[in-house]
Structure 1
Amino acid sequence: MKKMLSMIIAATFTVGLAAPAAMAADKVMKCGIVTNKDRSLSKGLVEFGKILEKETGGTIKVQVFTDGVLGGDRQTLEGLQMGTIHCTSVSTGPIAAFVPQFDVFDLPFLFKDKATAFKVADGPIGKELLDKLPAVGMIGFNYWENGFRHLTNNKREVKTLEDIKGLKIRTLESKIHVDTWKQLGANPTPMSFSQLYTALEQGVVDGQENPYGNVVSNKFNEVQKYLTTTGHVYNASPFLVSKKFYDGLTDKEKEAVKKAAKEAQTFQRLENDKEDTVSAGTLQARGMKITALNPGEQQKVVAALKPVYDKYSETLGKDLVARMLAAVK
């Protein structure tokens, strides 16, 4: 019990003033996220809180709960709808359970690099999707980033399409992610991120796929031997605020939230770049074997995923998928 209490305390950040000032704050903004406290997305929320408290003169006090203390991605999003959680940053995959069109960001091998992803996320298509969120109880301000996802496993070095077949892979709780890995011959198992380390340790799944930052900060190298730099999905991670909470703010406070979200986006993307720069070396130093798919094998993987594009062109709308494909060129 004491250990559990200490973990919860360690995963909770209160931004800004000391206890007496906290009691004077008009509103408390509770932000939850599944990532480790050292991850760029978690740091982004803390930075958002610092900026917002400064901009509002302390009328809004921000508390950040990391490490999935408030629940997994889906539970956090449901909390935003109910107004029990007030802000988060979540990858587009889980958001698609509420607004299906967000799946267009998770089409495999869609983005060639970050610059392209930023251009699309910060452009008309990104805004079009964010504009759909108020109808489901959330306000989307902009896109932070989780980064490119890579495959890790504890069974074998993955160098070819054939090597993927039969692996039990944990995925996001997202239909398109499950369909992608099924199409490649793996056995996908969607589960909450907060359950992942234990599932890997106990052999419930053979592997998982996540950006470098998550692999490092959660020490997956302790329970995974191999990483293949597939870069199969780029995870934009929208910054979201509960509509119930936002609607209760003054106009001045709403403007402060917008400003803080914009500044925190810049901060978070830079932090994520730092993570990407050092992560591969960190994992290799910890004994993890890192493998790159050669261009020929990557083309085989891409070709094998054509049915996923065909399926989601129908479910998301051919026009949206066509516009996305045009935007990434």
Structure 2
Amino acid sequence: MKKLLILLLVLAMVLTQVACTGGAQPEQPSEQPAEGESEYASLEPVALIGADNAGVGAAAQLFGELVTKKVAEITDGKLTIDYYPNSQLGNDQELQAQMLAGDIDFVICQTAQTVNFVPEVAIFDLPMVFAKYDAKTIDYALNRSPFTEKINEAYRAKNMLNLHYLQGATFRETTSNKKISSIDDFKGLKIRTMENKNHMDFWKALGAAPTPLPWPEVYVSLQQGLVDAQENATDTCVGANLNEVQDYLILTHHILYCNQFLINASKFDSLHPAYQKALKQAVDEAAVEIEARLVTIDKENRQKLVDNGMELIEFEASFVDEVLERVQSVYDSIGKQIGQEYVDALLDALKNAK
């Protein structure tokens, strides 16, 4: 009887203890850093590899180098980047293939060369679609709107993430050895383009003769008269010394000069959340700094080309509408390629910018 009483008493004590503690599990070690420690102190160091195919001093290079600096500062050197600019690891197509294969982690490149990997990015090939908008409006449409969410799904489906569209409402312009004073002067113009069907269709719609050539061949081709003209951002024109082989700089504003920060999605997902946050922060901060300089850089580059002998040609505001009348077939073609819903989403985002 006494033994039974003791057993019941012990059992009652145990039940009382459980009730008081709520059945709580032993406290798990905290993942929070100790007081005074960086949140990255306990994390293993990680090194990313990034690259671009841009010319010396181009926006992509400036962006990549600033992100590299900032992410190291933010993480106290725990997340670092080995950055290879200026085509050291290959051209845009090769770099994106390397990224998808996991040989490198991220690429900064213009949108035109991503179409072969993510067809929906052809939305950026719509001629003149951004020509009437300012940088703030374009930034909202590309980086913070419902269109952003929609296009990001297309990247993710191909194991890519785009962390930012870098732009400053500057554009790809045209240089030529033939004076272009009106839209009709493009007829018969032999112009070098990238290997992009939509770009070639645009120039055909204006009556020009587009000729896709690898970038390293462009200078000599212009010098030898194999082509009359080319189109590019002004920083690329300056970096390649095109003033030596071209007479005119024509402000056509036909395609937005826009760079993407593309990272392998699997690689990004594998990073510790603190590193993901730090990389996004570095990209966002670098973008603000670089974008604030892009308009000034573009104007300075125009002046450099003029100072070195090129004649600047600007059109009246009506030029955009004249071009749009002639290139509706390109809009229709791109809508069929990628789905009209992407075109509508972008146009709505531009019109309803906040």
What range describes the TM-score normalised by the shorter chain of this pair?
A: 0.7 to 0.9
**Residue aligning to 2:141:** 120
For each residue in 1:62-88, what CA deviation from the matched residue of structure 2 results, as whole angstroms up to 9, or x when unmatched?
A: 222222121111111111101112222
Distance 1:219 1:121 in 2: 31
What's the RMSD between the two structures over aligned residues?
A: 2.0
Residue 180 in 1 paired to residue 202 in 2?
A: yes
**Residue aligning to 1:153:** 176
- Give the structure-2-normalised TM-score: 0.80
**Residue aligning to 1:130:** 152
Cα distance, 1:52 vs structure 2: 1.1
Which is further off, 319-328 or 234-243?
319-328
**Residue aligning to 2:4:** none
SS in 1 for 2:277: helix
Distance 1:160 1:277 in 2: 23
SS in 2 for 1:71: coil
Cα distance, 1:51 vs structure 2: 0.9
Distance 2:320 2:157 in 1: 39
**Residue aligning to 2:277:** 255
Instruction: Name the amino acid aligned to 2:81.
Output: V
- Is the contact made by 2:167 and 2:291 (CA closer than 8 Å) also made in structure 1? yes
**Residue aligning to 1:107:** 126
Q: Which one of the candidate residues 307, 321, 324 is aligned to 1:285?
A: 307
- Give the structure-1-normalised TM-score: 0.85
Q: Which is higher, the Rg of structure 1 or of structure 2?
A: 2
Q: Which one of the candidate residues 204, 215, 222 is aligned to 1:200?
A: 222
Distance 1:41 1:327 in 2: 25
**Residue aligning to 1:8:** none
CA 1:236/1:128 → structure 2, altered by over 3 Å: closer, same or farther? farther
Instruction: Name the amino acid aligned to 2:243.
Output: N
Q: Would you say how many aligned residue pairs link Structure 1 and Structure 2?
A: 304
Distance 2:83 2:218 in 1: 21
CA 1:320/1:246 → structure 2, altered by over 3 Å: closer, same or farther? closer
Identity of aligned residues (%): 29
Residue 85 in 1 paired to residue 108 in 2?
A: no
Instruction: Name the amino acid aligned to 2:140.
Output: K
CA 1:197/1:270 → structure 2, altered by over 3 Å: closer, same or farther? farther
SS in 2 for 1:229: strand
Cα distance, 1:137 vs structure 2: 2.4
Distance 1:199 1:270 in 2: 35
CA 1:59/1:263 → structure 2, altered by over 3 Å: closer, same or farther? same
For each residue in 1:195-214, what CA deviation from the matched residue of structure 2 results, as whole angstroms up to 9, or x when unmatched?
A: 43343334332211112222
Distance 2:312 2:244 in 1: 14
SS in 2 for 1:246: helix
Q: Which segments of 5 or more consecutive residues in structure 1 lack a partner in the other structure?
A: 1-24
